[in-house]
Amino acid sequence: MSTFSDYNFKGKKALVRVDFNVPLDDQFNITDDNRMTATLPTLKKILQDGGSAILMSHLGRPKDGPTEKYSLKHLVSHLQSLLNDSCNSDGKEVKVLFADDCIGDKATTAAAALQPGEVLLLENLRFYKEEEKGHVAFAEKLSKLGDVYVNDAFGTAHRAHASTAV
């Protein structure tokens, strides 16, 4: 059985479930980025192998679909800074893109256009009730975005959600 360390991500789009459920202040500034920094070794391996990463996460517990308060777009610039500080040993800037959806046309188009060395952060999975209900069709739509799945959100692995259990 091969391990994560053995796998070569060259030319692959890794669909990575991360835990970016980080606290934000009233101006949407991250007040504790430990969960984001915990993903850096995984992302570094994928990018340095010549792959790209499509990140899926939740943020908070939105009750009525998309809301500004729980959008992952607020994390993009900080994630780009973290990645460029730790992953660009060759001096090439790591580009972090954002799709304001996770299963629609915008996500599909952005994932298809993703180049090796780039990262795409999808919008909050919990904007869709299907995520927490573990819908197979939702999981299938997510799975079509990448070539290989990596679960780096061990704090959510026990949940029967579409992005982790289906």
Query: 10-14, 60-64, 78-82, 104-108: which has the minimum mean pLDDT?
Result: 60-64
Q: Per-residue pLDDT tens for 57-67? A: 988 888 877 88
pLDDT averaged over the chain?
Answer: 86
pLDDT at 166 over 60: no
Q: In the CATH scheme, what is the code of domain 13-165?
A: 3.40.50.1260
Determine the pLDDT at residue 134. Answer: 57
Count CA atoms within 13 Å of residue 73 on its CB side. 10
pLDDT of residue 162 exceeding 60: no
Model confidence over 131-152: pLDDT tens digits? 655 557 888 888 899 999 998 8
Chain segment 27-80, per-residue pLDDT in tens? 999 999 999 999 999 999 999 999 999 999 988 888 877 888 899 999 999 999
Place 84 in a pLDDT band, splitting at 50, 70 and 90. Answer: very high
